[in-house]
Structure 1
Amino acid sequence: MSGLFKNDYIIKEQPSPTQEIIQKGIDKETLNKLLERIKEGDLPTKIRTLQILNEKIKLTDIEQRKRFLEEGLEILLENLFDENQRIQELTLRVLESLIKGISLSANASLKIFETISIPRILENDFVFLQLVNTFKALKFIKPHPSILNYLTEMTLSRDDRVRVLGTWGLWRFLNSTRDIRSTEILEGILSKIPSLLESDDETVVEVTLELIKEIATRYQDSGEIIKRSFAWIKAMKEIEKSGSWLIRSELKRTINYLIEVIREYYRMRINESFRVLEDLIQEERYEDAMTLAGIIGNEDIIKWVSQKIKENKREKEKGIEGLLRLVSGPKYLNIHPDLTEKTIYIPRLSYLTIRKKTVENDGNADSKFELNKMKKDLSNLMTKLRSSDRAEIIDALWELYELSNEINSQNVEEFKLFVPELLRIFSSTNNEWVVDKTAKILAKILSILPNSQENINDIAKFLFLEDKHRMRALIFFKYYLKNKWDKNAWELILKYLPRLLTKKKTAIWTLGIIEIIIDTIPSDETERLWELTTILKDLNSKVPEIVERRIKILIEEINKKLKDPRNIRINVKSE
């Protein structure tokens, strides 16, 4: 009981200083007491004072909060550097309560931005996410140039968390002011989204997804933002393939939300949807055209797009004489009838045509082929591969891909005859699916086939060409080196490493190849990793930011590999 009995009366204890503060409003004297305890008090005092402050601020009016910001902001921001997470947590809650509903002055804004631009503060996920919430509530009194300049600087940071906070800050600046450069600011925000989506930090990706939804909601009547949303969906689909289950779930929700926004926009603007689809078809972006038609979900539009694609392909083919065997790979041939479901529609391979299996595996052979029995069927498969009917070629590739899992040293000679035809298709098609499947089949055959160096060298020649052709070689080598360690192939990659890593598009696949090498290189070959480390260190400052971070991680992995006692013994022995 908090009272004392004396002469049958309850005599109340004198209130403690903390209780006095709770009972009083925040006048100047009380504010100074609170700030002194936050700055000078021991850990329990600081924690209790911050708790009281958070409770009191929620009950104060805007003018009192503005006064507190002027007097106490710097002390609060200093607490963000405290090693005690509870202090950090309570400070962030106080900061969020203070800022809510207030238009910040330029001075207060810059103090906050300067503090949170220090990456060390943002390393803790809780602190980072709490600051994201704070940034979502930002308002500014007027479009002061210094605020805009500082936020823009933040978006150029080498730290992804600082960059995404800066981008959110720009978004709030755009929404709370009437700056004459609003179009320029919006474009700046939109330009940052693709690289933020590609961040290795999934928390940054998650925060970016929230921003995307806000932008799509605010500008749901803007044709330009709708087009951007469609591009974002494509990027998210790629990220979804390799992300953790948690980020995949967030990506799926955002994709579904954007699909609804896009669908609603084009259903209300049918004529515009036809113009956009026509442009996609003329640019030979058939897959995008079919995907967009599937999102809109109008049966007449889908039929129209299908017909237009066929007509456009026929016109292109007429203009190409003497190249009867050119394979550009059909994007889509027939349209799946059920487009009522509200998800992105991308026809599956099985919808392209009715597949007739050429090679039948009777199930009794298990992993072995009854080669004599199959020779005729393999011959028919080659006929389909050489066909001028693109659907036949797709079928043949699909069957070869399924069979490639069964290729081994006993039956590889039977598949050798496919190599020239597969190389022809690999070098001539622009269809990503065809490139990928052909690369996998070739990688399996050539990794087992003796004396395949000449073919490997032919594929390596693509590394001399422009980026889209280099990609073919990189896709092949990623699969090939996963199947087999080949020092000659690795030396080819090593030779072109500087050129491949300085461009973002080729860098991602090249880094994937390096990861495979680190994992699969034989113990007696690990000394080769010293040369790789030297090249990576030299390149570290010359590559895109996202690549630089991956390179640092790879160098750490290589060092671990080289420190492995088994590898040390082998390297010493070889010396």
Structure 2
Amino acid sequence: MSCDIEVLREYLGSWEIKKAIELAQENDECLQMLFKFLHDRDDHIKIRTLLALREVLEVLPNVKKLILVKKFLDDLLRLLKSDNDNLVIHAIRTIGKLIEGVPLPPEKFIKVVRAFTDLLKSGKNEFILIEIPAVLNGMKATSYPPRLMDVVSGLLRENNPRLKAIGLRLLLTIGAHSKSPSILKTLFSEITEILSSESKNDFPLVEFVLDILLEIPNYSMEEELIDEVARVLTAVKNLALREKLILREKAKMVAERLELAIHDYYAQNPEKAKEKIHELLINERFYEAIDLALAVGDTYVLKWLTDVLEKFGKETLKINERVLPGPKYVSVPPEKKAQRYLRLPTLSQFRGTKRSAMRIKLNESASWHRLSEQEPADLEETIKTGNEETLLEVPEKNIKAVLELVNRLKNGGNFEKMDALWALSKIAEQIGPEMADILEPAIGELLKLAHSKKNKWMRQRASKTLAIFASKSREGSKIVRQFLEDYLSGDMERVVPALEFFSYYFERVWDEKTARVILSRLKDYLKTEETRFDALLTLKGIVGLAPPEKAGLFAPFVEVLKEIRESAPPQDKKLAIRILEEIALKVKAWQNEEELDET
């Protein structure tokens, strides 16, 4: 079927772009004819052609796009030299659609890079420059020969920070290809320089650099990278802690991803963390030491750091001022949800103390007398040293010690509250159901912390402690009811803490009645961006502990999980895949049980 070029031009000229798109989708000759209109003298025709091309390219298979790249990429690149800014913007967007998902031959890759760098040097308006990063993010080459590497190296030597940033984006792509630690070291080093210079006031540039950093923590950290990572973390947190910065939220996302990468690295090497922090202090890199300690996430390291800072005469440096503000539940961005993966190391892991396997068996003769003058000091020393065995003997000797911890949780300073919360959580983990009620006095304060926005570690630790208590105590049903009310309220500031609680609760107990209530609304929360991650964690817990014969409860969630698997951010995708696999296992086990019953 031939294509009538005059009909196609008439559609474009009369704004019947939809008809032009339909012709191009049905007829390859019409599609190739569209590219010929890029040479038209009328800029309006060119822009409408670009609009049509983008719609067609959106659904075109990569195999066909590769053919079009070879034939027509140069025509699109020529449009970047136009004096019509609107035309240039549409050309950039169409180039992005054309090369998306298509590895370019090195010569084509270099052409695109040079066209964009020429555009940056031309002094075009700001709106044009904002379009370029999105295209670079999707660019890949079929191979990375020396001539292509020379182009990237040249960009990294540029004095213009925007040109250097293009080089960094391309270097990240090459790093994904080669997995070379030296490439990552260069990335961190150059980005720190950009974020620490006057360029930090160039908002489009800073946003571009932050987008690069959002991808870097996906790489495994190496010891040789930690110095540069610490520098860039502090630079990013400086941005995130500014009160009036347009990009503050994105900087917070990046800082949390960097903290997660640091935490994951030191989780298996706790002694190295302390050594590195000490090294930074000796070199008078105080803020980097503080930020690294916060990333490691251990309360006792922070207390140690406070003492060391005083010895250095730096007691005026406030650690709390380097803590990022907590999330506002009504607008949690997808990237921010990665913080839920941050599992803080226990004190015994960090200090290398012997892990206790003991379970407390509190007896009814435990005294209720007041604490002696010495006992509060003993309690403080137990917490300070992180001796879990001694800590778990405290309530057995005197249950009033629990009330002392509750008092600290209510009236203490930040460090005292964190100490008390840590101690209460350890006691909750180890006591048996018969003595779980000794923690009842702490419920009120724990509920307040579980709904707090100020400190994410304390909020999540409080939720976890309440979930453990609810799974062991006869009074646990009251806590469950409280969070169910929050869950059913529809108020996001109450729904998100409820989802956090139930994600921990269903890791420990199969509660069918509560599960059915949660499932009745969970699909809506899975479809809502700000609650999706916590909803996935909750569903994962419910599916994991459900008996096989209850597999039918999860059938309504399969389609929405598949949608998340296809289109959601990486953290959500991974969870959705795990849940789908678990549901499949439950269904298979259920079918096997039915077959056995029949035989």
Task: Tell me what 2:532 maps to.
Answer: 507
Q: Does 1:118 align with 2:61?
A: yes
| Counterpart for residue 472 of structure 2 | 448
Q: 1:380 to 1:276 in 2, by over 3 A?
A: closer
Question: What is the rounded CA distance, in whole Å, between the counterparts of 1:505 and 1:164 in structure 2?
Answer: 36
- Structure 2 match to 1:488: 513
Which residue of structure 1 aligns with residue 130 of structure 2? 187
- Give the residue type in structure 2 aligned to 1:375: I
C-alpha separation in 2, matches of 1:554 and 1:149: 40
The counterpart of 2:577, out of the listed 530, 553, 557, is: 553
Task: State the partner residue of 1:404.
Answer: 428
**1:325 corresponds to:** none
Q: Partners in 2 of 1:384 and 1:120 — Cα distance?
A: 65
Q: Percent identity?
A: 14
Rounded Cα–Cα distance in structure 1 between residues aligned with 2:388 and 2:419: 24
Q: Take 2:570 and 2:590, find their aligned partners in 1: how far apart are those partners?
A: 32
C-alpha separation between the residues in 2 aligned to 1:437 and 1:168? 51
Cα 1:364–1:483 shift into 2, 3 Å: closer
CA distance in 2, matches of 1:434, 1:395: 10
Q: Measured at CA, do residues 364 and 504 of structure 1 come closer, stay the same or move farther in structure 2, by a change above 3 Å?
A: closer
Q: Which residue of 1 aligns with 2:593?
A: 569
Trace 1:250-269 onto structure 2 (pairs within 5 A): 253=225, 256=228, 259=231
2:441 matched to 1:430?
no
The superposition leaves residues 507-529 of structure 1 with CA deviations (integer Å, 9 ceiling, x where unpaired) of 12222333333333222322222
* Equivalent pair of 1:139/1:176 in contact (CA under 8 Å): no
The one-letter amino acid paired with 2:93 is T
- How far does residue 423 in structure 1 lie from its aligned partner after superposition? 0.6
1:459 aligned partner: 483
**What do you get for the CA RMSD once the two structures are aligned?**
6.2
Distance 1:230 1:374 in 2: 56
Q: Which residue of 1 aligns with 2:329?
A: none
Structure 1 residue 571, shift from structure 2 partner: 9.3
One-letter code aligned to 1:381: L
TM-score normalized with structure 1 length: 0.50
Q: Per-residue displacement from partner, 1:445-472 (whole Å, max 9, x unpaired)?
A: 1122235233112123333355454332
Cα deviation code 1:400-441 (max 9, x no counterpart): 233333133133121222112211222244321221111111
Q: 1:120 to 1:387 in 2, by over 3 A?
A: farther
Indicate the residue corresponding to 1:52 in structure 2.
none
Q: How does 1:243-282 map to 2 (within 5 A)?
A: 247-249=219-221, 253=225, 256=228, 259=231, 279=243
What does residue range 2-151 of structure 1 map to in structure 2 within 5 Å?
118-119=61-62, 140-143=77-80, 149=90
Partner of 2:504: 479
- Give 1:132-531 correspondences, 5 Å limit: 140-143=77-80, 149=90, 152=93, 161=101, 173-177=115-119, 183-189=126-132, 206=176, 216=191, 221-222=198-199, 223=201, 224=203, 227-228=206-207, 235=214, 240=217, 247-249=219-221, 253=225, 256=228, 259=231, 279=243, 339-340=284-285, 345-346=290-291, 347-348=293-294, 349-350=299-300, 351-352=302-303, 357-358=379-380, 360=382, 369=393, 371-387=395-411, 389-463=413-487, 464-531=489-556
Q: Distance in 1 between matches of 2:138 and 2:465?
A: 32
Distance 1:364 1:342 in 2: 31
Deviation at 1:280, TM superposition (A): 6.3
Distance 1:559 1:443 in 2: 24
Q: CA deviation at 1:384?
A: 0.6
Q: Mind listing any 5+ residue stretches in structure 2 that lack a counterpart?
A: 1-48, 140-171, 260-279, 308-375
Contact 1:482 1:520 in 2 (8 A): yes
Q: Which amino acid aligns with 2:118?
A: S
The answer on whether the counterparts of 1:154 and 1:163 sit within 8 Å (CA) in structure 2 is no
- My pick for the range that moved more, 398-407 or 251-260, is 251-260
Paired with 1:570 and 1:437, the residues of 2 have a C-alpha distance of 41
Name the amino acid aligned to 1:377. Answer: A
Distance 1:562 1:427 in 2: 34
Q: Can you give the 5+ residue segments of structure 1 that lack an aligned partner in the other structure? A: 1-105, 197-201, 267-272, 296-334
Partner Cα separation in structure 2 for residue 528 and residue 386 of structure 1: 41
Q: CA deviation at 1:569?
A: 1.9
Amino acid at match of 1:152: R
Cα deviation, 1:523-557, whole Å, max 9, x if unaligned, reads 232222223336657x7699757699568736752
Give the letter for the 1:183 counterpart. Answer: E
- Tell me, in whole angstroms, the C-alpha distance in 2 between the residues paired with 1:139 and 1:505: 38
Q: SS in structure 2 opposite 1:424?
A: helix
Q: Deviations 1:356-399 (Å, cap 9, x if unpaired)?
A: 74484998969975744031221211111121533322221122
> C-alpha displacement at 1:186, in angstroms?
3.5
Q: Tell me if structure 2 keeps the 8 A contact 1:155–1:164.
A: no
**Alpha-carbon distance in structure 1 between the residues aligned to 2:287 and 2:64:** 42
Amino acid in structure 2 at the alignment position of 1:425: L
Provide the C-alpha distance between the structure 1 equivalents of 2:524 and 2:102, rounded to a whole number of angstroms: 29
Q: How far is 1:140 from its partner?
A: 4.0
SS at match of 1:445: helix
- Say whether the 8 Å CA contact 1:367–1:406 is kept in structure 2: no
Q: Tell me how many residue pairs correspond in the alignment.
A: 390
Partner of 1:482, secondary structure, is coil
Q: Which moved more, 1:450-459 or 1:365-374?
A: 365-374
Mapped contact 1:526–1:562 kept (Cα < 8 A): yes
Q: Secondary structure at the match of 2:431?
A: coil
Q: Is the Cα contact below 8 Å between 1:397 and 1:437 reproduced in 2?
A: yes
Find the structure with the greater CA-based Rg. Answer: 1
Report Cα offsets for 1:120-170 as digits up to 9, x if no partner: 799xxxx9xxx9xxx9x999445068886465257579x985699999998
AA at the equivalent of 1:340:
R
Aligned with 2:221: secondary structure? helix
